[in-house]
Structure 1
Amino acid sequence: MTMLWTKSPKRFDVPCTVEIEQTSETLHAHVVLDGDIAIEPGDQVRVHDAPTGVAFGERLVVRRTATVVRAGPLDRLRARIEGYLELTELYEVSFSDGRAS
């Protein structure tokens, strides 16, 4: 019987669209995988030959191939716990009455 943590991760290639825009209105980079592929905590996506930037005022849309590596059960659990712990850092709240001293 093979243990869950000894299996090699499932990996596959999928076509994708990469969009990068840098204007006065927006600065963003998006990757959209073709098909109905759900990315879950701990999964890794590597885009091959992805552009790393564009000049100011430009928008770039290119087609590339991405490799998706599925996380195992332990990696998925670790990613969820780390995400929860990082989220709790945002909960710092001041309980002062708001009046200046």
Structure 2
Amino acid sequence: MSSEGLLSRLGLGGRRRIEITCSVDIEQSFDSLHAHAIPEGIDLRPGDRVIVHGAPTEVGFGETRHLTCRATVIRANGLERLWTEVQALFELTELYHCGFEPKEAT
């Protein structure tokens, strides 16, 4: 077995790039300021990256845009997925570190 095949089996191989289409929804209004990019036909996993090509960088106030763009999904290897999941656990525990002090008796 080649070293490249062994690395792939261990999840340490190179990253795969997949070209897909992506639905983009952008709104800037009094009620909402958002941009959603939804990759079509693929399930994203922890550590994967999505690069959207050709989406507008600005919309005017009161505008809503819905369009379809090209996107590149860069798949995370096994080590990157594991690292992302471990980081997520630590970030989740950060939410627990908020303290509430009891009101002082007056």
Take 1:85 and 1:16, find their aligned partners in 2: how far apart are those partners?
31
Give 4+ residue runs of structure 1 displaced > 6 Å after superposition. none
Q: Percent same amino acid among aligned pairs? A: 43
* Alignment partner of 1:22 is 2:22: no
Structure 1 unaligned segments of length 5 or more: list them: none
The partner residue of 2:16 within 1, 10, 17 is 10
Calculate the TM-score normalised by the size of structure 2. 0.83
Counterpart for residue 94 of structure 1: 99
User: How many matched pairs?
Assistant: 99
- Structure 2: runs of 5+ lacking an equivalent: none
Whole-angstrom CA distance in 2 between matches of 1:12 and 1:61: 23
Tell me the TM-score normalized by structure 1. 0.86
| CA distance in structure 2 between the aligned counterparts of 1:93 and 1:30, rounded to whole angstroms | 30
State the SS of the aligned residue for 2:72.
strand
User: Please, what is the CA RMSD of the aligned residues?
Assistant: 1.6
In structure 1, what is the equivalent of residue 52 of structure 2? 47
CA distance in 2 between counterparts of 1:100 and 1:57 reads 50
